[in-house]
Structure 1
Amino acid sequence: MDIPFTGGCACGAIRYKCTGTPRYMGNCHCRDCQRATGSAYFAAVLIRAEEFFLIKGKPNWFETIADKGHPMRRAFCTSCGSPLFLENGARPGGKVLYAGSLDNPEWYKPSRDIYVSSAQPWDIMDPALPKDELMPERLKHEHQKSSCIQAP
C-alpha cells in the first residue's frame, strides 16, 4: 500500500487524497450500510480526518440517524451518484472511505466482519475473517482512539 493514496467517484468530478495509514479496514453488514451501498455490506476504510483532503470537486451529503441513534453523514457525487466516504457522529474526527472508491482497491484487506446479525442469507462471507454479531467493544475503542480530532 502506497501512502499517500487517492480515490474518487466514477465520473472523476470528485477526487480525494489520504496522507496516513488506514486505522481499520473491515466489512459492515448492518442494515444502514446495506441500504447505503445497495449491497450486502460496506467495505470500510477508516482514516483520521486530518489525513483526508478533497483535491477536486465538492460532494453532496445525505444525513440519516443510524439504527443506534447517532447521525451518519454520507458523501456522494451529485453527477454520478458514487458513494465516497462517511462521517460517523458516534466517532467524530474520522472519515470512513468506501473501498470501492479507492484508485487501487486491491490493497483493501478487511480484518473482520461486523454486524453479521444483520447479514443477508445470500451474503457469502470470507470464513477466514473473525465475525462479530454487532460492533465489538474493542473496535469501538479503536475507532475512538483513531478518531481523536473533531471533524470540521
Structure 2
Amino acid sequence: MKKPRKPYDDRSDLEKLQSQWWKLSGLHSREEWSAAVVRAATAAEIAANIAIRSEFQKVGSFSSSFVDSLLIWANGLRGKLEKLLIPISKDTERGPAIAALKGLALEVNAVRNGIAHRGEFCSAKKAATTIQKAREFVDGIMRIYEPEFELKERKGEP
C-alpha cells in the first residue's frame, strides 16, 4: 500500500523545494514548457525563502510570523532578493556569492512573469534554458545555506 503524501502546507521548505522540482520534471516530460518554468521559478523563490529565514535567524530572534510577513511584503523572487536577501547579507561573507546569483534569479523571474502576467508561452528551448538557470540559482543558494541538501532529479529531468 502506498504511503499517503504529507499535505503540502505541512512540508518543510526543503520538502517544498524538492516537490516543486519533481513536479516540473513531470510537466517538462509532457511538454508543458510554460508550467514547468513556473514551477522552476517557484523552486527558486522557495530557495530564496530558505536563505532569508536563515539570515534572519543569524541576526536576531525574529518570530517566524514576522519573517513570513516580510516574505509576503517582498512579493516575488525579485523583491525577496532586492528588498531582503541582498541587503541583509550585504556585509557578510555570503554577500558576494548571493549578489552574484541575482542575475540568474532576475532572468528566471522575467520569464516566469511573462507567463503568469502576460500569458506568454515558452518554447522547449527557452524552457530548458530558464529551468537550467533556476537550477543554478537554487544550487548556488543551497550550497551557502543548506550544503547537505541535494536537489534530486527524476528520470527525464530537463
TM-score (norm 2): 0.27
User: Whose helix fraction is larger, Structure 1's or Structure 2's?
Assistant: 2
**Greater RCO structure (CA 8 Å; 6+ sep):** 2
Which protein has the larger Cα radius of gyration, Structure 1 or Structure 2? Answer: 2
TM-score using structure 1 length: 0.28
